[in-house]
Amino acid sequence: MKVGTDGILLGAWTNCEGAARILDVGTGTGLLALMIAQKCNAFIDAVEIDPVACVQATDNVALSPWKERIKIIHSSFQNYSTESVKYDLIVTNPPYFTGSLKAPDLARTAARHNDTLSPGDILQGSSIMLSEGGKLALILPYEEGSVFIAMAVSFGLFCLRKTNVISVPGKPVKRLLLEFSGKKTVYAEDDLVISPGTRHKYTEKYKNLTGSYYLYFRSQNS
């Protein structure tokens, strides 16, 4: 799987402060787990249902400086979430295309469609596995994200933080970065515009958020 903007956004945006144990659901090649490991000292379990992706993630983690803190687990989230393990943070870049034309590549299809990991699965598993005060962070398209926010309430999870991701000024919201908790606290919402509209140009806010992970941005600042 290619490294996509969604994964980069979520990994950079997720707040893992104070988390001692983190779960990455549907880790794919390990992108989110590796990004988050760079900015905290937590132990990270990364669950992935696809065996080929598990091998790739295991290889990527083994080559990283954080291999002692990341564990790749070959399992569906549904099966794994029945275990009595608690996490301070659950993070996922879930499949979200429902009922649309499916790609001929089965692995890519599984990564993009919610046949194997539905919103209800994510919410049910998270409600079981989050520690007291624990948080769930994910990224979804606008419509799916809006439905997810409403759906989460029935699982005792409340949206505390939302960032509206906009590709260029004047365009509608493309993605929602969302953070949930079982405890209602102050709600925060903001906008993130990725590009000012010029090809290969990015806003300062986007560069500040993701700059630690893009070598291109880091070279510009050096």
Kindly report, residue by residue over 41-51, the tens digit of the pLDDT. 999 999 999 99
Domain count of the chain?
1
Neighbouring CB atoms inside 10 A of 121's CB total 17
Asked if pLDDT for residue 201 goes beyond 80, the answer is yes
pLDDT band (50, 70, 90) for residue 214: confident
CB 91 within 8 A of CB 32: yes
Range of the domain at 126: 5-221
Kindly state the tokens that stand for 107.
């692995």
Scan for tokens 């065996």, then name that residue.
Answer: 51
| Burial zone of 113 (CB within 10 Å; 0-12 exposed, 13-18 middle, 19+ buried) | middle
pLDDT band (50, 70, 90) for residue 2: low
| Burial zone of 73 (CB within 10 Å; 0-12 exposed, 13-18 middle, 19+ buried) | middle
The CA distance from 205 to 192, in Å, is 7
| CATH code, domain with 127 | 3.40.50.150
CA nearest to 213, candidates 74, 1, 37:
37
User: Out of 75-89, 124-138, 164-178, which region has the weakest mean confidence (pLDDT)?
Assistant: 75-89
The CA distance from 36 to 87, in Å, is 14
Strand order in the sheet with 43-48: 70-74, 43-48, 21-25, 87-92, 130-141, 175-181, 158-166, 188-193
Kindly report, residue by residue over 131-144, the tens digit of the pLDDT. 999 999 999 999 99
Average pLDDT for 114-118: 70
CA nearest to 138, candidates 17, 50, 21, 24:
24
Could you tell me the pTM of the whole model? 0.89
